[in-house]
Amino acid sequence: MTDAISLHTERLILRPWKPTDLEPFYRLNSDPHALRFYPATLDREQSDAIAHRSQSLIEEHGWGPWAVELKEKGAFIGMVGLNRPTAELYFQPCVELLWRLLPEYWGKGYATEAARACMDFAFNELDLEQIVAYTAQLNRPSQTVMQRLGMTKQAGTFAHPGVPVGHQLVPHVLYTQDRKDWSPSA
């Protein structure tokens, strides 16, 4: 077990999970609009399992998909962090950058702010050479975040193995960021 790390930005705290995060996280994961770029919404058991798995990764490695809260209000707003994907992807091994925020916190720059802190941590503390992020080709909002972070879109698409064959969300795009090209203010 490793000491869990929290990251602080101007407006956010990326921290280990608390039991009180489970209800708003379920609200996020059961919202069809919030998960419109995922094949399906999640039930309570599935949502809680993601939170518990995320916390286990944080306890094991010190980092992972963190719970995110607003510094000013202490409100849980979603999940942002780093993860080693378990799906069989052509670009593995890798560490992915991921985010999922409650809709009422979209459009405020929180995903970009939190993701930038994760990238800075990944390159400067974990000494990683590269970070990846991927999403459904139709998910323009997440691609916009990736572009704001200075990530580079790779050519073509790939079929995500976790999406049912024939589903409109099968084609995914990959973005990468190499440490040598990283600038925290990108």
Q: Which tens digit of pLDDT belongs to each residue from 52-92?
A: 999 999 999 999 999 999 999 999 999 999 999 988 899 99
Instruction: Indicate whether 20 belongs to any domain.
Output: yes
pLDDT value at residue 143: 98
If one counts the domains in the chain, the total is 1
The DSSP 8-state label assigned to residue 97 in this structure reads E
Bridge partners of 173, per DSSP, are 135
Provide mean pLDDT across the span 20-27. Answer: 98
Residue 135 maps to a domain: yes
Whether 40 is in a domain gets the answer yes
| pLDDT tens string 91-149 | 999 999 999 999 999 999 999 999 999 999 999 999 999 999 999 999 999 999 999 99
Does some domain include residue 1? no
pLDDT at 26 > cutoff 80: yes
Nearest to 67 by CA among 20, 104, 113: 20
Predicted model pTM: 0.94
Q: For residue 2, what pLDDT is reported?
A: 66
pLDDT of residue 84: 95
Mean pLDDT of 19-29: 98
From residue 39, alpha-carbon distances to 32, 106, 163 in Å are 10, 20, 6
Tell me the one-letter amino acid at 74. G
Residue 186 lies in a domain: no
Q: How far apart are the first and last CA of the chain?
A: 34
Which amino acid would we find at residue 79? M
2 in any annotated domain: no
**Would 157 be classed as within a structural domain?**
yes
Residue 184 has pLDDT above 80, yes or no: no
Chain centroid offset of residue 115 CA: 8
Which residues, listed in sequence order, are joined to residue 152 by a DSSP beta bridge?
176
| pLDDT in the model for residue 186 | 52
- The partner residues of 135 in beta bridges, in order of sequence, read 173
Under a CB-based contact definition with an 8 Å cutoff, are residues 117 and 96 in contact? Answer: no
Q: What is the pLDDT at residue 46?
A: 98
> What per-residue confidence (pLDDT) applies to 183?
82
CATH label of the domain that carries residue 87: 3.40.630.30
Domain span at 137: 7-181
